[in-house]
Amino acid sequence: MEHQKMLAKFKELYGADGDIRMYFAPGRVNLIGEHTDYNGGHVFPCALTIGTYAVARKRDDEKLRFYSMNFEKNGVVETSLSDFHPKEDKNWTAYPKGVMWAFTERGMKVEKGLDLLIRGNIPAGSGLSSSASLEVLTGFLLKDLFGFSVTNEDLAKIGQFSENQYNGMNCGIMDQFASAMGKKDHAIFLDTATLEFTYAPVALKDASVVVTNSNVKHSLVASAYNERRTECETALAELQSVTDIKTLGDLTEEAFEKSKDAIKDPVRQKRAKHAVYENQRTVRAVEALKNNDIKLFGELMNQSHVSLRDDYEVSCPEIDVLVEEAWKVPGVIGSRITGGGFGGCTVSIVENGAIDAFQKAVGEAYEKRTGKQADFYVVEIGDGPHRIPV
């Protein structure tokens, strides 16, 4: 039904002739391994069945026309292939434009313009990677429409490059990789230092992944995200004066404790501690999942939240309330903040028989303690980007 609405709107705006195609790329949730992806550590995200859709058609000139069903009041935004302004473009079109620019930077010139209609069903600012989803979607449709020779892994790298260089957001590779490389019912155990990865089946027996949206929007570019990255880079440089490491992900907990005094600032020491310990937690969590030890997986998720709250300081009061209330509910195996932080969502693993009670208890306590409403999504793990027959 939604697909039909999108097609109808596209034809109403741009006309019904020509080769009109439809595409999808997923959002992601990270089960564990947060703020490790730019510190050379491991992450464990999965693609979701919610994400971003596009209807697209090539033009004969250099004009670019964008329309978002999520921002209908903006109308059709017109620009052209000669109108790229890295780090200056500010509205939502800066994400698809950044990817087109990144393709050109890599020697794959987009020669013809496009008519594009976009619709996303990821809540904006929720920390479920609506921006990475839009980047991967754009890359995938450019590949399909123009015949560029790129793999899905290349699309992840191009998406990260465009977000770093065009949008000024110094993100790691995880979000784009999870969207581009998603596989139904599997999470991706990714070593961000080498991009080596394996798919791990997420077999939760009688439990499900539940995402809870705090409805506190995060704005990462303007937030402390880039600052955290700088703190970690400085801490790494200090550690490199006494240890032979390339990234914080190279350290075990013991090795970190032995050499941590090389980090001169106590705040930087806490940041580096999180990166090291979170990486080791992620490795252990994936092992636990392989051994069907869901209980241990949940405990490691809980420890991850405490570290993100206390050592990395990227949580916020509302998110802490959601997690604290989740921990009280019988049948909750684990719960933590997910995504960049400063708002957004939590991810919980909840026994299927407890999901209704979980939503009721956490929802009521959250409203009572913060005055805000939370939204709950029992999510399914889906595939990466694909073309949808029209």
Q: For residues 103 and 142, is the Cβ–Cβ distance under 8 A?
A: yes
Assess whether 116 and 220 both reside in one domain. Answer: no
Q: What are 29-75's pLDDT values in tens digits?
A: 999 999 999 999 999 999 999 999 999 999 999 999 999 999 999 99
Q: Considering the chain, what percentage of its residues have pLDDT values greater than 70?
A: 98
Query: Per-residue confidence at 103, pLDDT binned at 50, 70, 90?
Result: very high
Assess whether 192 and 238 both reside in one domain. Answer: no
CATH of the domain at 120: 3.30.230.10
Query: Per-residue confidence at 219, pLDDT binned at 50, 70, 90?
Result: low
What domain count does the chain have?
A: 2
Query: Per-residue confidence at 1, pLDDT binned at 50, 70, 90?
Result: confident
- For the CA atoms of 339, 343, 347, 348, what is the dihedral angle to 10 degrees? 150
Q: Is 175 one of the catalytic residues?
A: yes
Assess whether 144 and 176 both reside in one domain. Answer: yes
Query: Per-residue confidence at 126, pLDDT binned at 50, 70, 90?
Result: confident
Assess whether 152 and 235 both reside in one domain. Answer: no
Assess whether 25 and 141 both reside in one domain. Answer: yes
Assess whether 218 and 192 both reside in one domain. Answer: no
Q: Are strands 114-120 and 63-68 parallel, antiparallel or unpaired?
A: parallel
- In the structure encoding, which two tokens stand for residue 91, read together? 């509205």
- In the structure encoding, which two tokens stand for residue 42, read together? 């491991």
**Predicted pLDDT of residue 224:** 79
Q: For residues 186 and 202, is the Cβ–Cβ distance under 8 A?
A: yes
CATH of the domain at 284: 3.30.70.890
* Helix ranges restricted to H, 260-293: 266-290
Assess whether 90 and 138 both reside in one domain. Answer: yes
φ and ψ of 265, to 5 deg: -110, 130
Q: Considering the chain, what percentage of its residues have pLDDT values greater than 90?
A: 90
Query: Per-residue confidence at 381, pLDDT binned at 50, 70, 90?
Result: very high
Assess whether 211 and 197 both reside in one domain. Answer: no
Assess whether 115 and 231 both reside in one domain. Answer: no
Assess whether 168 and 219 both reside in one domain. Answer: no
Assess whether 216 and 185 both reside in one domain. Answer: no
Under DSSP, is residue 188 helix (H, G, I), strand (E, B) or coil? strand
Domain of 354 in residue numbering reads as: 207-378
**Predicted pLDDT of residue 123:** 79
Assess whether 269 and 371 both reside in one domain. Answer: yes
Q: What are 312-369's pLDDT values in tens digits?
A: 999 999 999 999 999 999 999 999 999 888 888 999 999 999 999 999 999 999 999 9
**Predicted pLDDT of residue 218:** 67
The average confidence (pLDDT) of the chain is 95
Q: For residues 138 and 95, is the Cβ–Cβ distance under 8 A?
A: yes
**Predicted pLDDT of residue 144:** 98
Out of 37, 89, 115, 175, pick the active-site residue: 175
